[in-house]
Amino acid sequence: MSRADDATDDDHRPRHRIGEVAALAEVSTRTLRYYQELGLIQPSGSSPGGSRRYSDADVARLRRVLELRNVMGFELDRIGPIVDAEDRLAQLRQEVATGVTKKRRAEIVAEAIAINADLRAQVAEKLAVLHEFDAELRTKAARYRDVAAELGIDVADEPRTGSGARGGHARATS
């Protein structure tokens, strides 16, 4: 489970119901249950009746999973190892904070470097795919502009930001 370095005991107290967590994260309770089946998030506790209870740290982990999915574009099967690696890094930081020998600290640093390198490799792989897709889109855009020029159509440049298709930018020249 993901636990922030500066988390207090309150951060780990299971107090949120599944519906509250789903509303906070803007996902369905079904999604939370599915993420639990995949091992991406686990409730920190349960009520006497067996209902799931989530801590603030659990909510933070869910938000990280959603960020990796929605913003970074990682598939769910790749998110588990990423958050597990982040959890391991947090454990290593906590171990160092409690005081370790110089030898153990060297071992921890070596492990952290390896974990970081693996995470960076995953991000580099994702970026390579995105850059390839962007290059394809740029090639198509150039082709479209060439065809538009052959047809005598003045095409306004597309904005660099925003999302979705933009219509109404092409206009005939006289």
The CATH number assigned to the domain holding 61 equals: 1.10.1660.10
Which band of pLDDT confidence, cut at 50, 70 and 90, is reported for residue 118? very high
- 126-156 pLDDT per residue, tens: 999 999 999 999 999 999 999 999 999 987 7
Structural domain contains residue 83 = no
> What pLDDT is stored for residue 160 in this prediction?
59
- 28-45 pLDDT per residue, tens: 999 999 999 999 999 988
Structural domain contains residue 146 = no
Q: What angle do CA 109, 115, 117 make, to 5 degrees?
A: 100
> What pLDDT is stored for residue 9 in this prediction?
55
H-helix or E-strand containing 52? strand 52-54
Per DSSP, what are the bridge partners of residue 52?
46
Q: How many CB atoms lie within 10 A of CB 61?
A: 23
> What pLDDT is stored for residue 161 in this prediction?
55
Structural domain contains residue 28 = yes
Q: Domain count of the chain?
A: 1
Structural domain contains residue 171 = no
Which band of pLDDT confidence, cut at 50, 70 and 90, is reported for residue 46? confident
> What pLDDT is stored for residue 72 in this prediction?
86
CA–CA dist 171, 21 (Å, integer): 49
CA–CA dist 149, 167 (Å, integer): 18
The better pLDDT of the pair 91, 12 is held by 91
Domain range for residue 11? 1-73
Structural domain contains residue 107 = no
Structural domain contains residue 7 = yes
| Overall pTM > 0.75 | no
Structural domain contains residue 54 = yes
* CB-facing half-sphere around the CA of 1: CA atoms within 13 A: 18
Structural domain contains residue 121 = no
Task: Reply yes or no on whether the pLDDT at 8 is more than 90.
Answer: no
